[in-house]
Amino acid sequence: MTRLVKSCIAAAAAFTLTACETVETEEAEADFVSIFDGSSLSGWDGDQAYWRVSDGVIVGKTSLDAPLEKNTFLIWKGGTPADFHLKLDFFLESGNSGVQYRSHLLPNSHQYRVGGYQADIAGKWLGILFGEAGSGGILARRGQNVELQLSDGKPTSLVTAEFASEDDLISQVDFGSWNTLEVIADGGDIRHIVNGTTFMIADDQGTGMGEDGGLIALQLHTGKPMKVMFRNISIKMLEPGQS
């Protein structure tokens, strides 16, 4: 067989593989459903003194004139999924924020306060797994693989591996621009992915956190005036073991 023929066959095989990969990617993307319409807070519920839509993005903002006494959240009202793949873009201009999932409304608090698992997006904490409002605190740092267990009614974590350094991971984040966050919760397998790179892996071994589903919400934190923005929010529901 001549070199020319071999090259043509190889090129055809490469083209076919690329075409197949493209089709699979398009099919996978088609499974995602947008949960933010880009123009309103329809389908979301939060204190509109702090949340609005501007130029196609959700904006959460506090000020000296409207400080927060407790963290407040913009809550998605479209369901309480247990197993899902969530994708969104975020731009934390200042302050502290995160994305809640497998979460619940807190009793004896204001109507927009939740507790549960959080993908933190704040500065040095970006990408970690945090248990909000008495749900365990810092459960996994960047680059860690952990097992989540229940102790005295709260999740605790055991580090089983470290697959990347915190500094190497955070170097992939542009704090002055938009970044992409993905949260995959598939049965006991929980992952945070930032800009296409896995930042955290957790194995939930029966903590009871969101096993039957939970709220998804966006956070505004107490403290100094802050501003955070979100866009391109979409979700794909999973059957356990699908991801």
pLDDT class of 232 with cuts at 50, 70, 90 = very high
Whole-number Cα distances in Å, 33 to 48, 86, 231, 243: 25, 10, 13, 16
Phi, psi at 80, each rounded to 5°: -130, 70
Check residue 5 and give its pLDDT.
41
Contacts 24+ apart (CB under 8 A), 166-170: 166/141, 166/142, 168/143, 169/127, 169/142, 169/143, 169/194, 169/197, 169/199, 170/124, 170/126, 170/127, 170/142
Tell me the β-bridge partners of 228.
60, 92
Check residue 193 and give its pLDDT.
98
d(CA 135, CA 104): 11
Residue 163 pLDDT greater than 70, yes or no: yes
Q: Among 16-20, 112-116, 239-243, which stretch is predicted with the lowest mean pLDDT?
A: 16-20
pLDDT class of 137 with cuts at 50, 70, 90 = confident
Tell me the β-bridge partners of 28.
none
| Model confidence pLDDT, tens digit, residues 51-93 | 999 999 999 999 998 889 899 999 999 999 999 999 999 999 9
Residue 11 pLDDT greater than 80, yes or no: no
Residue 124 pLDDT greater than 80, yes or no: yes
Percentage of residues in the chain with pLDDT exceeding 90?
71
Mean pLDDT of all residues belonging to the chain: 88
Query: If we measure between CA atoms, which residue out of 149, 85, 96, 155 comes closest to residue 120?
Result: 96
d(CA 161, CA 159): 6
Averaged pLDDT, 158-170:
96
What pTM was estimated for this model as a whole? 0.86
Q: 239: which DSSP letter?
A: -
d(CA 52, CA 60): 7
Tell me the β-bridge partners of 218.
74, 99
